Each structure stands twice: as C-alpha cells, then as structure tokens.
Chain A
Amino acid sequence: MTTHDAQMLKGVLALLLLSLLAREDNYGYGIVTALRESGFSDLAEGTVYPALNRLEAAGHVESYLQRSDSGPARKYYRTTAAGHAELTARQRAWTDLVTAVATTTSARGN
C-alpha cells in the first residue's frame, strides 16, 4: 500500500476534490472511495469531510440532497463556476510546482 506525506496530501486535497467533482457529482463517502481507488488509501474520512465543507463555504462547490436506496438521503456535491476557475488555478499552480521540483531535483542529480 502506498503511503503519502500527510502535509503534502493536505496541500493538494482541494485540487483532488475539485478534480473529482468536476468529472461527476459525488457524495462524501463516494468521494473517499474514489480517492482510495485512485491510490490515496491513507486518506481518512475525517480529513476529506472538513475539506469538502471548506470548499462549500468558499463557494467552490455546492450541494444538494439525493435519495439513496441504502439509507438516508445523501448530500451530493458539484463544482460551481468559481470552483472550476479555482480548479484551473490550482492545476496550473500544481504543474508549476511539479516542473520546478523536477528541474531542481534533476539538476541535483546531474
């Protein structure tokens, strides 16, 4: 099982959540499952739910209730227009960071 640095994960969690929600609407535990399937098996619900809450408070995602066959209604999240803009900005920032890190580490390796 791959483990990730907790601080690093926290830094990119909003990017991951916005990316997932830009693809399709999802609810809390569904998002956790999707993240685990993508390889983030060490991401706990206790970290993801507050992050979703913060994104909603910031207006980057919005929510709606949808009936579920297996139990109580689920709270689904979807990305807003502001969320899409935020996602683009975060993707750019991430790409810049990866490029800068790659440049630095490869320069050190030479």
Chain B
Amino acid sequence: MGIIDRLRIEDAVQRYDFWLELRGARGRQRRALRRELRANLRDAAADIGVTRALFNIGSPKQLAWEMTPDAASRPRWSMGAMWASLAFGMVVFAVLLTSISFTAGVEASGVVGETVRGFVFPWFGVDYMARVEPGRGGLSVGVGNVQWYFLGIPLLTFLAVARPWRAFARTSS
C-alpha cells in the first residue's frame, strides 16, 4: 500500500477519532475503536481499493455516533472546551466593540483632557473609561472589573455543555 493510501486511511481514522472524542468516548475505548477501524480499512483497501473502502464505511461522524450509543451519558469535555473557547472569544469581541463605541461617544461629546468613566448596558459592574487628549493628542481606553465576564461566561458555557456531573452520576451508579 502506497504512502498516499495510508495517509487517506489515517485521515479517515483521525476524523473518526475526532468525533469519538467529541462524543465523549473514553481514551481506551477510542484507542480500541481506532485500531479496529484502521485494521479493517487496510484489509478492505487491499481487497477493493482505498476509495471504495472509505466510501463503504460512510461518514466517520455517523460511524463514531453509531459505535458509541452509550456515550451520550458521559461528560463531553472536548465539546465543553470548544464552546467555552468560542464563548470567551465572543465576550472579548463584545467588550472590545463596547469600548470602541464608548470611546466614540466620549469623542463625539467633545470632552477632552479628562477621563470619562461610565456604565454601558448590559455590562453590569464593568467600568468603561476613555480619555481624549486635547489637540488630537491621542486616545486612551480602559475597561475595569471585566474579569468576571471573561472567566464566568466561558466557565458557565463549559459546565453547561460538558456536564461534568455525569461523571459523578456514572461513578455512583
């Protein structure tokens, strides 16, 4: 079997593993399933060619879902981490956008040479600051007490998606 064929099989196996991981399959189970699929694909490739062998297993995602029917009751750490990262990115983006708007507002009001502080809905407890220097001397922008949003929202997202309490439920059952 050529190197390209091996790479195509490995690509399918890795995509399968990715979905197994997202599904919440445990490490040992994933290793066993990966190994089995790799061996079967190589045998099938030697028999009917790589293209047909890959076609016959269907979508790696669908296969991963069908191979782990009980995984729905496990914590989904990877999925939680992925959504938490996305939530973190969105919070950073929203805070940045709000500070730009706040600074634009201060600039438009014509207040120069002094620091303007304010609250912007819906950022409760967050202190937005902007200072416009006279004579186009520059801008300074600051945001205080935003750490709770940076930590809290991704953490809540992680908990909601990963559902770590499932691990305790499995242990106690």
Tell me the A residues contacting B by CB distance below 8 Å: 27-30, 32-33, 44-46, 49-50, 53-54, 57, 68, 70-75
Contacts and interface: CB of A to CB of B under 8 A. Distances in A.
Contacts, number: 66
Contacts of B67: 49-50, 53
Interface stretch (B57-65, B78-86, B146-154): B57-65
Given A28-B36, A44-B56, A44-B58, A74 B63 contact: no
A45 B105 CA distance: 62
**Size class of the contact patch on chain B:** 20 to 34
Interface of B: 32, 35-40, 42-44, 46-47, 53, 56-59, 62-63, 66-67, 69-70
Question: Main secondary structure on chain B at its contact with chain A?
Answer: helix
Nearest to A65: B35
26 contacts: A27-B40, A29-B40, A29-B44, A32-B44, A33-B47, A44-B56, A45-B53, A45-B56, A45-B57, A46-B57, A46-B58, A46-B62, A49-B57, A50-B63, A50-B66, A57-B70, A70-B42, A70-B43, A71-B42, A71-B43, A72-B38, A73-B39, A74-B39, A74-B40, A75-B35, A75-B36
Given A54-B69, A72-B35, A46 B43 contact: no
A92 B47 CA distance: 35
B150 to A, nearest CB: 42
